[in-house]
Amino acid sequence: MDLSFSPEDAAFREEVRRFIDENYPENLKGKLDEGEEWSKEDYLSWHRILGKKGWVAPAWPTEYGGPGWSATQRYIFSEELARADTIPILPFGISMVAPVIYTFGTPEQKARFLPRILSGEDWWCQGYSEPGAGSDLASLRTKAERDGDHYIVNGQKTWTTLAQHADWGFFLVRTDPSVKAQEGISFLLIDMKTPGITVRPIITLGGEHEVNEVWLENVRVPVENRVHEENKGWTCAKFLLAHERTGIAGVARSKRGIEKLRAIAATELDGDRSLIENPFFKRKIAELEIDLAALEFTELRGLAALAAGKPPGAESSLLKIKGTEIQQRITELTLEAVGHYAAPYFRGLGDSDNEHAIGPEYALRAAPTYFNMRKTSIYGGSNEIQRGIIAKMVLGL
Ligand SMILES: Cc1cc2nc3c(=O)[nH]c(=O)nc-3n(C[C@H](O)[C@H](O)[C@H](O)COP(=O)(O)OP(=O)(O)OC[C@H]3O[C@@H](n4cnc5c(N)ncnc54)[C@H](O)[C@@H]3O)c2cc1C
């Protein structure tokens, strides 16, 4: 198995690196490190720049606007984005609903929605989870009843990421309660401005407004906004979840996280030496780096298999578990490194001249990031669920 990159791959990497250097907006550089949050406009500005270049949807088929890259080029591209610490391209439109639309949608749905996802005109959110349906998603209860050429939707979704900005949402709804749970679900595209939709914030431990509850009361949705056949929504749901899990290991972003951690540990004092010189701390970083290197080679092995035409297997579950554990450990060690300076966290600091940060700037987001990253072992199919998949699919238990 050849895990090295070809000269063409190296040239491609160079091209991507140059483009990012020359085009990444100056005002976004280091914004999070300085304690500020990303706004909707921040996300959209980088989306539009990549969209104009034809690079915002690396995995899309060329006929819909994808760049026609190989799996290796896509990997290099994501590595370079991480290396430059760019704002992420949100997955809900580009890598979640779009593949469902171009795989299962009608020609009208493709023509209507795909160009607007590419350009960033429509912001999408994902309405899957409900208060009683997370890991056991098929037990969802939000119902859609036919009324002529409309569905009337009633129910509640939860944990809906960034729904406060969304123009459209893709929702799983129950269209037939009389059959087996998976067989009575449909996949609807819903305009978030439709009367009857209420989006309520859920403020997370880090103080952020990232997730929401979405209430649907007698929401009228045209039948033409259903993707795939009625009661075939579970097929779309499973297809989409496979897309959600790819790239979730976040190796390149974790490499960048460890670099930052090293820089912090080199600055922080531990008695009369820097923290990085403390053998116990040094060992923790080394263990993290070894685990990350092992994860990277596991990911590259998967990439080599994919490039050789083999389908992705249950290893995506393994990548998800190890990748998210590493992401969480980086935030734990960062918290440990900044110590008590992580405690005073003031939202919006920097907006006013009267308040000054207590401690170094890099400590500002250590605590909220630590709290925020607890989510990674829950979303995209919790890590316990992934272990269940490995037990069944890999170990045959
Ligand atoms: C920050 C964040 C953003 C999210 N964004 C979205 C979004 O945009 N749209 C959306 O639809 N959803 C979103 N989710 C929801 C996410 O998909 C669910 O939280 C996840 O599927 C887990 O479901 P749950 O929270 O209901 O927990 P439960 O399913 O109730 O699980 C509770 C605990 O039990 C464990 N467990 C459950 N079943 C099993 C089992 N069979 N075997 C072993 N252990 C088990 C779980 O691992 C977990 O530890 C988001 C979640 C978070 C945290």
Assigned token pair, 81: 């984005």
The Cβ of residue 205 has, within 10 Å, a number of other Cβ atoms equal to 12
Question: Is the pLDDT at 365 greater than 60, yes or no?
Answer: yes
Angle value at C-alpha 227, between 101 and 309, nearest 5 degrees: 40
Task: Compute CA 184 distance to the chain's CA centroid, rounded to the nearest angstrom.
Answer: 28
Instruction: Look at 298 and 233; give whichever has higher pLDDT.
Output: 233
Contact yes or no for 91/244 (Cβ under 8 A): yes
CA distances from 364 to 34, 259, 367 (A): 7, 17, 7
Question: Is the pLDDT at 362 greater than 90, yes or no?
Answer: no
Let me know if 291 is exposed, middle or buried by CB neighbors in 10 A (0-12, 13-18, 19+): middle
Contact yes or no for 299/374 (Cβ under 8 A): no
Say what the pTM is.
0.93
Annotated active-site positions, please? 244
Q: Is 69 left (phi over 0), alpha (psi -120 to 50) or beta?
A: beta
Protein residue with least CA distance to atom 31, ligand 1: 135
Over residues 113-147, the pLDDT tens digits come to: 999 999 999 999 999 999 999 999 999 999 999 99
Contact yes or no for 219/196 (Cβ under 8 A): yes
pLDDT computed for residue 257 by the predictor: 92
User: Which is the closest atom of ligand 1 to the Cα of 210?
Assistant: 1
Over residues 92-110, the pLDDT tens digits come to: 999 999 999 999 999 999 9
Residues in the chain: 397
Helix (H) or strand (E) holding 200: strand 197-203
Cα 153 to Cα 386: distance, rounded to the nearest angstrom: 31
Contact yes or no for 218/147 (Cβ under 8 A): no
pLDDT computed for residue 152 by the predictor: 98
Confidence of residue 245 (pLDDT cuts 50, 70, 90): low
Question: Is the pLDDT at 4 greater than 70, yes or no?
Answer: yes
Q: Beta 226-227 vs 269-270: how paired, if at all?
A: unpaired
Question: Is the pLDDT at 1 greater than 60, yes or no?
Answer: no
Residue list, ligand 1 pocket, CB within 6 Å: 126-129, 134-135, 159-161, 211, 375, 378-379, 382, 384-385, 388
User: Which is the closest atom of ligand 1 to the Cα of 128?
Assistant: 11
Q: Which of 174, 172, 162, 251 is nearest to 208 (CA)?
A: 162
The Cβ of residue 15 has, within 10 Å, a number of other Cβ atoms equal to 13
* Ligand 1 mean position, distance from CA 265 (Å): 34
Cα 38 to Cα 46: distance, rounded to the nearest angstrom: 11
Cα 294 to Cα 250: distance, rounded to the nearest angstrom: 13
* Ligand 1 mean position, distance from CA 383 (Å): 9
> In the predicted model, what is the mean pLDDT of the chain?
91
* Ligand 1 mean position, distance from CA 235 (Å): 20
User: Which is the closest atom of ligand 1 to the Cα of 375?
Assistant: 53
Confidence of residue 71 (pLDDT cuts 50, 70, 90): confident
Over residues 39-57, the pLDDT tens digits come to: 999 999 999 999 999 999 9
Contact yes or no for 233/173 (Cβ under 8 A): yes
Cα 89 to Cα 328: distance, rounded to the nearest angstrom: 21
Contact yes or no for 357/36 (Cβ under 8 A): no
